[in-house]
Amino acid sequence: MSRVDSKAKSRTRKNAVADPGTVMTHRQILFVIFGLMAGMFLSALDQTVVGTSMRTIGDDLDGLSLQAWVTTSYLIVATISTPIYGKLSDIFGRRPLFIIAITIFLLGSLLAGFSTSMYELAIFRAIQGLGAGGLMALPLTIMGDMLAPRERAKYQGYFLAVFGISSVIGPLIGGFFAGRPEILFVAGWRWVFLINLPIGIMALAIVLRFLHVPHSKRPARIDWWGAATVILAAVPLLLVAEQGREWGWVSGIAIACYVIGGLGIASFILAEKLMGDDALIPLKLFSSPTFSMATVLGVLVGFGMFGAMMTVPLYLQLVNGATPTQSGFLMLPMILGLMVSSIVSGQLISRTGKYKPFPIFGTAFMSAGFLWFTFATYDKPVWFMMVGMLLVGLGLGQLMQTLTIASQNAVGPRDIGVATSSSTFFRQIGGTLGTAVIFSVLFTRIPEVLRDIFASTATQQSLAAVASQPAVRADPANARILELLADPSKIGSALDGDTSFLNTADARLAAPFLEGFATASVSVFWVSLAVVLVAFVLSFFLTATPLREKSAQQEVAEADAALLAQKAANETGAMVEPSMPTSRDRD
């Protein structure tokens, strides 16, 4: 080997190690974050904007009874696609998968905006969900690539701000569009989906221009069996979680879902074990106590978070008489608490490198919030619920980003994508389970509580005295309640359908119904409190591994450079060893 060749190889090895090319400036990071935030905003907004307009959509498409499937199809597909996006992004890179996710979401939005039936809308919402799975998982994964864990906490507060803003303005936008008969010659409610197009195109443009995350290609098998079995496991269980209350939890179709889901879980575990490191959710991740505990806490926190976000707005609308739009504004204390605590905790994590206290304090604040809710009564002022919302928000802000950082920090740099998507997947499973359990408890308790209240002699005498007044009987707003009082057998199901009659009826006649709903809601808050208290106890057992000082990009680049240097050194040694000894060497 010539001396020139040897010097060239030495220079190549030196450059490979010293110039990984993975450190991004603050300006570059901000541009990328804008694109990621726009993508996440699409997914977060879509979950809140549709809810307030669903009644108008169902009336227009003549299928209000099918509205549950419109929600369920989106949720199921978004949930099961989340870990798939994470694994594929580890193999093929974040940028192409994020672009694909935005494109699919925009296609689903366009199709949903021109649906002609609720069945079509359910299918197109499923297409939206397929894109939303990537929009929920990949932004935090890309952040994990770009930034070291200590720095990451500062920026993740921006993402929680997006989540909070979408929660507030979603109901406002949905109510605005649903309340307009026509906008630009298109039915108002259709803009609930079409509004995604300009936002998505802007996000896509930013991503195409600024998102250039380096990716090291590596050979890997695609876990087709894992993808198939996770669908087999998740879909039946999510279905029964969403529809079990209507089907009956021990009905034939519910039992079939339990059996198929159980077999799917067993098949998924077997498939992942056989695939090893190439698995959709590698089982080796759970060998880390930190990742395992963070995942369990994520399921429990998801349960509490969705329980609060689904029950409290309903409480505000029914008991406090707020409109859907007003209930969005009234949720501001929770959003404010979430944003403040996430920003403060992020700054503290960045400065100290310690995150152990935040899961403990976060679950403690959530527990305090749900404990406060258990003292709710129908005659409490609105500010009473707002105090509880603030406490829950202060807890959530400390938990959401901290658990994600703990999961990412507990795995190798090449597994950040699958770790992030897995933690998101399990949190969504917890949220779905929480929603199902919460509403099951709520609508099981409501008939029982109403019957007990109306069986009271004092209530009967009070209502009879009010109902006998000519002015009360003549007011059309009281007709629904007077009809129920004439047929007590219907009292238990009075709140199963349209409850708007409570907003306009005489306050004395509506009071027992509001009391019944408030009492039933307290039962729900006790369930949420019990779950969050379990999370509080487990948070003490979370092993806080030291946060790494380098981003995943830097670690991967340096590892690849070291491997290249070692390979070059081996090649050089192989070429020198067989060379013939000189006469001086022989002497």
Domain ranges of the chain: 23-214, 224-279, 449-521
Give residue 480's pLDDT. Answer: 76
Given a cut of 90, whether residue 364 has pLDDT beyond it is yes
CA distances from 102 to 134, 195, 273, 323 (A): 8, 14, 32, 32
Class of the domain covering 23-214: mainly alpha
Between 19 and 78, residue with greater pLDDT: 78
Strand partners, 182: 187
Given a cut of 80, whether residue 450 has pLDDT beyond it is yes
Q: What are phi and psi of 282, to 5 degrees?
A: -55, 130
Q: How far apart are CA 88 and CA 220, in angstroms?
A: 10
Strand partners, 183: 186
Q: How far apart are CA 153 and CA 373, in angstroms?
A: 30
Q: How far apart are CA 142 and CA 431, in angstroms?
A: 23
Look at the chain and count its residues: 587
Instruction: Give mean pLDDT, residues 400-429.
Output: 80
Q: How far apart are CA 304 and CA 48, in angstroms?
A: 18
Q: How far apart are CA 377 and CA 361, in angstroms?
A: 27
Give residue 481's pLDDT. Answer: 77
What sections of 410-506 are H helices per DSSP?
416-455, 457-467, 470-474, 479-486, 501-504
Q: How far apart are CA 147 and CA 152, in angstroms?
A: 5
Q: How far apart are CA 261 and CA 232, in angstroms?
A: 6
| Lowest mean per-residue pLDDT among 32-41, 57-66, 320-329 | 57-66
Band of residue 283 on the pLDDT scale cut at 50, 70, 90: confident
Tell me the pLDDT of the chain averaged across its residues: 78
DSSP 236-277: HHHHHHHHHHHH-TTSHHHHHHHHHHHHHHHHHHHHHHHHGG
Contact residues for 222 (Cβ-Cβ < 8 A; gap 6+): 88, 91, 278
Q: Which two tokens stand for residue 546?
A: 């030291």
Contact residues for 321 (Cβ-Cβ < 8 A; gap 6+): 502, 503
Determine contact, residues 521/443, Cβ cutoff 8 Å: no
| Lowest mean per-residue pLDDT among 251-260, 271-280, 391-400 | 271-280
Considering the chain, what percentage of its residues have pLDDT values greater than 90? 12
Q: How far apart are CA 330 and CA 478, in angstroms?
A: 27
Given a cut of 90, whether residue 534 has pLDDT beyond it is yes
> In this predicted model, what pLDDT tens digit does every residue of 97-122 receive, in sequence order?
889 999 999 999 999 988 888 888 88
Give residue 13's pLDDT. Answer: 37
Among 212-216, 535-539, 548-552, the range of highest mean pLDDT: 535-539
* DSSP secondary structure code for residue 280 in this structure: S
Contact residues for 216 (Cβ-Cβ < 8 A; gap 6+): 556, 557, 560
Instruction: Give mean pLDDT, residues 224-245.
Output: 82
Q: How far apart are CA 155 and CA 157, in angstroms?
A: 5
Instruction: Give mean pLDDT, residues 461-469.
Output: 79
Strand partners, 186: 183
Determine contact, residues 337/350, Cβ cutoff 8 Å: no
Give residue 498's pLDDT. Answer: 61
Q: Centre a 10 Å sphere on the Cβ of residue 436 and count the other Cβ atoms it contains.
A: 21
Given a cut of 80, whether residue 427 has pLDDT beyond it is yes
Q: How far apart are CA 508 and CA 514, in angstroms?
A: 10
Q: Which two tokens stand for residue 370?
A: 């749900």
> In this predicted model, what pLDDT tens digit does every residue of 129-177 receive, in sequence order?
899 888 887 887 887 777 776 677 667 667 766 776 776 677 777 777 7
| Lowest mean per-residue pLDDT among 223-232, 277-286, 328-337, 479-488 | 479-488
CA distances from 554 to 212, 227, 566 (A): 14, 30, 18
Between 492 and 127, residue with greater pLDDT: 127
Given a cut of 60, whether residue 240 has pLDDT beyond it is yes
